């Protein structure tokens, strides 16, 4: 009898170890140099640093694109976004761009019996084109593999400024229905352009439409007053929802996609972080993200889940300083380098566009350390399918099983990676190639480098991480062979 119990106990222990919980802590616009464990001396992120010290810190980890929507599309579907039309940065009233029934990172976990949840920024569209925000908001996350969702539709700077839980707006008063438009203002409703006196944070470019909570946004909305979010409480709200999800799921394996809003614009820290970074709101909301990470890690500790939970921390694209609001980010930056040693940032084909903080912690399986393997978020569907002993989804055509690299057992990772900045570029080992193109070298509003140039660019990142010496002329064979490889990898790009 006793041995029978032993067998059962052993079997369930093996089962648990085979199926770790997976928590994806995902920041929005957090750069390679924005966390102290990546070398920054100008900001302190103790919780993220602790995670890195207990886990594996990747120095060449990438998101799949240098802006949010294509990056998240690729991470969830396992397909580069440039292969599908309509995957650029979406307005807040866009329809869902991942069709129901298509395999996603979430459905992979669901297929393995996990409880799956997403909390935070969505930005992949909702509905099928004729959405009534006052009715059932679907299809959305629940139709593509998540059991639970608590999200904002798009971004903090885009209407509607409300949260959606499962299929409903949270706290909506039916007597005050909500209307959303990206075409024209609603008569009688203030806008940032017409009513700057109502603003506590002014735009620097764009962002001059609906005014909510003293901040003008992109797009127009009306009504839904009781449901409007308060920007300063958003991080705490998301964190509390994530804690709730973990608590409710603790007895099953679970997958949590915690999609924080920080440090995206508008940067409105909770009062307890105001002034704490010395860098103005951008620095303060990085501290706020670190605090959310701390709370979620403490929750895993408290529930005894630490050892068998794989925590993955990363960001959806590189950093940007002025992203459309006069929030002192430029003036108070000082010596801080949001992209660290990398060139470029959000919107850029340089490494700063897609090379982001990327940390894996799984105490019972992954040895702490540092890995220089080339890894990308587009690989999550295939890699987590492998982790849960399932085949990779057929439509995840760009997703490679890099699980051994994520676990620190393979120190190389990918041999090749397409980076979707403005122009697409190619990595092969430490070589980086950006094809010639006609785009502007600097974005007008953000004043950031795009990586565009009229001539092809070739960099040897092993000697020149900051992409300052273009070798395309002195190494024409390398440039040409990478141009051909990129052309091949880029086949099937959506127009």
Residues near ligand NG6 (CB under 6 A) are: 28-29, 67-68, 89, 123, 155, 157, 205-207, 218, 264-265, 317, 323-324, 445
Which of Ca ion, ligand NG6, none binds 472 (CB below 5-8 Å, type-dependent)?
none
Residue 73 CB, nearest approach to Ca ion (Å): 12
**CB–CB of 318/356 below 8 Å?**
yes
Based on CB atoms, which residue is closest to ligand NG6, 207 or 414? 207
Which of ligand NG6, Ca ion, none binds 445 (CB below 5-8 Å, type-dependent)?
ligand NG6
Which of Ca ion, ligand NG6, none binds 337 (CB below 5-8 Å, type-dependent)?
none
**Position of minimal CB gap to Ca ion:** 68
Which of Ca ion, ligand NG6, none binds 206 (CB below 5-8 Å, type-dependent)?
ligand NG6
Residue 323 CB, nearest approach to ligand NG6 (Å): 4
By CB under 5 A, the residues from 5 to 44 that bind Ca ion are 28-29
Based on CB atoms, which residue is closest to ligand NG6, 157 or 291? 157
Residue 232 CB, nearest approach to ligand NG6 (Å): 19
* C-alpha–C-alpha distance, residues 433 and 230, integer Å: 43
* C-alpha–C-alpha distance, residues 407 and 360, integer Å: 8
Q: Which residues contact 476 (CB under 8 A, 6 or more apart)?
A: none
Based on CB atoms, which residue is closest to ligand NG6, 16 or 89? 89
Based on CB atoms, which residue is closest to ligand NG6, 264 or 427? 264
Strand partners, 460: 431
Provide the sign of the torsion angle of the four alpha carbons 62, 79, 106, 263, taken in this order.
Answer: positive
* C-alpha–C-alpha distance, residues 241 and 272, integer Å: 20
**CB–CB of 22/305 below 8 Å?**
no
**CB–CB of 351/457 below 8 Å?**
no
Strand partners, 181: 220
Which of ligand NG6, Ca ion, none binds 44 (CB below 5-8 Å, type-dependent)?
none
Q: Which residues contact 166 (CB under 8 A, 6 or more apart)?
A: 142, 148, 149
Based on CB atoms, which residue is closest to ligand NG6, 218 or 286? 218
By CB under 5 A, the residues from 58 to 97 that bind Ca ion are 68
* 476 secondary structure, DSSP code: H
Based on CB atoms, which residue is closest to ligand NG6, 49 or 419? 419
Residue 470, Cβ density class (10 Å: 0-12 exposed, 13-18 middle, ≥19 buried): middle
* C-alpha–C-alpha distance, residues 469 and 282, integer Å: 31
By CB under 5 A, the residues from 146 to 205 that bind Ca ion are none
Which of Ca ion, ligand NG6, none binds 222 (CB below 5-8 Å, type-dependent)?
none
Tally of CA atoms within 13 A in the half-sphere of 457 that contains its CB: 25
| Per-residue three-class SS string for 36-65 | HHHCCCCCCCHHHHHHHHHCEEECCEECCE
| Per-residue three-class SS string for 193-221 | CCCHHHCCECECCCCCCEEECCEECECEE
Based on CB atoms, which residue is closest to Ca ion, 26 or 255? 26
Among 231, 316, 323, 419, binds Ca ion (CB under 5 A): 316
Based on CB atoms, which residue is closest to ligand NG6, 49 or 351? 351
Answer yes or no whether residue 351 interacts with Ca ion by CB under 5 A: no
**Position of minimal CB gap to ligand NG6:** 206
Based on CB atoms, which residue is closest to ligand NG6, 78 or 266? 266
Residue 471 CB, nearest approach to Ca ion (Å): 31
Residue 102 CB, nearest approach to ligand NG6 (Å): 22
Which residue shows structure tokens 């509607």? 160
Which of Ca ion, ligand NG6, none binds 259 (CB below 5-8 Å, type-dependent)?
none
Structure tokens at 441: 């070298």
Q: Among candidates 12, 9, 13, which has minimal Cα distance to 307?
A: 13
Residues engaged in binding Ca ion (CB under 5 A): 28-29, 68, 316-317
């Amino acid at each position: 009898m006793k041995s029978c119990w032993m067998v059962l106990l052993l079997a369930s222990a093996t089962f648990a170890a085979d199926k770790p919980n997976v928590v994806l802590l995902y920041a929005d616009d957090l750069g390679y140099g924005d966390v102290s464990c990546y070398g920054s001396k100008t900001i302190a992120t103790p919780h993220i640093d602790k995670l890195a010290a207990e886990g594996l810190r990747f120095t060449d980890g990438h998101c799949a694109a240098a802006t949010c929507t294509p990056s998240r599309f690729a991470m969830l579907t396992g397909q580069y976004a440039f292969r599908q039309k309509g995957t650029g940065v979406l307005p807040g009233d866009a329809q869902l761009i991942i069709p129901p029934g298509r395999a996603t990172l979430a459905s992979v976990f669901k297929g393995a019996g996990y409880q799956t949840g997403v909390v935070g920024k969505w930005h992949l569209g909702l509905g099928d084109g004729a959405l009534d925000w006052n009715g059932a908001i679907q299809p959305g996350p629940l139709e593509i593999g998540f059991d639970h969702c608590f999200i904002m539709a798009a971004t903090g700077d885009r209407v509607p400024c409300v949260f959606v839980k499962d299929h409903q707006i949270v706290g909506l008063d039916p007597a005050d229905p909500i209307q959303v438009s990206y075409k024209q203002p609603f008569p009688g409703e203030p806008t940032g352009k017409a009513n700057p006196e109502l603003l506590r944070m002014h735009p620097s470019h764009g962002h001059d439409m609906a005014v909510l909570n003293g901040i003008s946004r992109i797009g127009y909305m009306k009504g839904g007053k009781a449901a409007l979010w308060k920007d300063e409480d958003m991080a705490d709200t998301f964190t509390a929802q994530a804690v709730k999800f973990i608590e409710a799921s603790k007895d099953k394996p679970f997958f949590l996609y915690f999609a924080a809003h920080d440090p995206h614009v508008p940067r409105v820290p909770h009062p307890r972080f105001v002034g704490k970074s010395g860098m103005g709101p951008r620095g303060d909301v990085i501290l706020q993200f670190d605090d959310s990470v701390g709370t979620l890690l403490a929750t895993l500790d408290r529930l005894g889940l630490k050892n068998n939970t794989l925590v993955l921390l990363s960001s959806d694209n590189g950093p940007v300083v002025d992203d459309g609001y006069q929030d002192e980010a430029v003036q108070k930056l000082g010596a801080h380098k949001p992209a660290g040693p990398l060139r470029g940032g959000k919107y850029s084909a340089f490494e700063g566009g897609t090379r982001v903080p990327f940390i894996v912690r799984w105490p019972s399986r992954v040895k702490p350390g540092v890995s220089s393997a080339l890894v990308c978020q587009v690989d999550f569907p295939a890699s987590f399918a492998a982790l849960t002993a399932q085949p990779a989804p057929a439509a995840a055509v760009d997703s490679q099983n890099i699980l051994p690299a994520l676990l620190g057992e393979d120190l190389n990772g990918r041999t090749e990676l397409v980076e979707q900045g403005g122009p697409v570029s190619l990595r092969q080992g430490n070589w980086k190639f950006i094809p010639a193109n006609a785009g502007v070298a600097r974005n007008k509003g953000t004043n950031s480098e795009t990586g565009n140039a009229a001539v092809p660019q070739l960099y040897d990142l092993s000697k020149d991480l900051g992409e300052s010496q273009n070798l395309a002329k002195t190494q024409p064979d390398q440039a040409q062979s990478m141009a051909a490889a990129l052309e091949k990898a880029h086949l099937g790009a959506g127009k």
